[in-house]
Amino acid sequence: MWGNCVEILANILFYGALILAIFHKKKRKLWIVCLALAGAVSLYTAFVPIENLFYSFPSAEAVAKYACKGEVIEILDGKESSLILYAEKPGTVSYMLSNKTEQGYKIGTYWNIRRHSRLISNPPAPIQIYESANAVDKYIYVFGIIEGRDVSINDTQGNDFLLFEKSSTQTGIEHTSFEAFCILSDAEDTNYRITVNSTEKSIDLKAA
């Protein structure tokens, strides 16, 4: 990707300018300026894809093809964003929240996701609510480990959860680790409830 190339180049320039600033006394001020610029670019690209500054993608599929390593599993489309689920390795699930602007879709990062966390205590199942840039779209991410194989997740909106499960046996007891995703049909539901294996949790989405 172009962003990776820019980041590598900025790092090379940063360390090159650092060496010259230390050992080249005649133009030390110039190298310090170059050092600061290269450092700023390197720091920026560590958090934000440089492509987002000058390019927008026509669709979430195009973002996934360009920026997501591995196989795309599913894309959950909202009004102003898409949650891309993909597998970097077999049996794994990664995600990217791609926000849509007037120009098109942008590459998502860990830093551009607004998160709100809740917890179901029995079984232990952390719930995270992901929001798009203007909080128009909200996605639910639930994960945890239960005894046995039966994982059941549903909510009061009747949303379809994409459920990923992996079973294993530890000390003679079977456990299932799971991850589940969905996009909420009503992002401002003040009476929203989610149930994980018969344990219910109420969440005021408007206050999330």
- Taking the C-alpha atoms of residue 147 and residue 151, their distance in angstroms, rounded to an integer, is 9
Same domain, 102 and 117: no
Same domain, 65 and 153: no
Domain holding 145, by residue range, is: 113-208
Per-residue pLDDT tens over the stretch 136-185: 999 999 999 988 888 999 999 999 999 999 988 877 889 899 999 999 99
pTM: 0.78
Same domain, 102 and 119: no
Same domain, 129 and 196: yes
Q: How many domains would you assign to the chain?
A: 3
Q: Is the dihedral of CA 98, 99, 101, 107 positive or negative?
A: negative
Q: CB–CB of 130/99 below 8 Å?
A: no
Q: CB–CB of 70/76 below 8 Å?
A: no
- Taking the C-alpha atoms of residue 24 and residue 31, their distance in angstroms, rounded to an integer, is 8
Residue 122's SS3 state is coil
Q: What is the mean pLDDT of residues 17-44?
A: 59
CATH code, domain with 197 = 2.60.40
Same domain, 204 and 171: yes
Among 106, 121, 144, the domain boundary falls at 106
